[in-house]
Amino acid sequence: METGLVDVALRYGDGNWPDVAAQMVMPLQAVPVAAPALARRLRIRTPADILRAPLIRVSPFGTSWTEWAAGAGLDPGPFEQQPGQHKGLQVDGMGASLRAAAHGLGVALVFDPLVASEIASGALVRVGPGVPARGQIWFGCRMRERGLPAIRALRRWLLAELKQG
């Protein structure tokens, strides 16, 4: 944020960045989702049934499948990616994992509430419980600018909009 090009930012993480005043604006849960047809075809009815499907893994960040399994009360071992394992798909972002899941390529671990519109539209269904994500969404600005009227107004507006959604 010190480059001078950005006054405020929405960041994913733990909220602890040098010289950044951060306020959490959106708690996230990692939730497994799949295309409805895939969930029906593979009879995914319990969290353990997810292992019947290819797992879509997001690199470089996000909650891992082993973290999700542990948080859901499952043995994380079977969810661990093994060297040479070909069952599944590795993608480089949450958007790519959503598209892959919607096309029936596997089960994606994505952030709720960011996936709410895809679930509401019927493009995806939840196939397991949500567990707290490793990071959250934070509103951040330079420490010395956190009291500026424009930044305070933007933060208030954003929080009001998120409460409505």
The 10s digit of each residue's pLDDT in 75-133 is 999 888 766 555 778 888 888 999 999 999 999 999 998 899 999 999 999 999 999 98
First-residue to last-residue Cα distance in the chain:
28
Task: Look at domain 29-132 and name its CATH class.
Answer: alpha beta
pLDDT: which is higher, 34 or 91: 34
What is the structure's pLDDT at 82? 66
pLDDT tens-digit series, residues 131-146: 998 889 999 999 999 9
Residue 20, judged by CB atoms within 10 A of its CB (0-12, 13-18, 19+), counts as middle
Residue 164: band (very low, low, confident or very high) from pLDDT cuts 50, 70, 90: confident
pLDDT in tens, 36-79: 999 999 999 999 999 999 999 987 666 689 999 999 999 999 88
Predicted TM-score (pTM) of this structure: 0.81
DSSP 102-125: HTTS-EEEEEETTTHHHHHHTS-E
Quickly state the pLDDT bin for 155 (edges 50, 70, 90): very high
Name the 3-class secondary structure at 94. Answer: helix
**Amino acid 94: pLDDT:** 85
DSSP state of 81: P
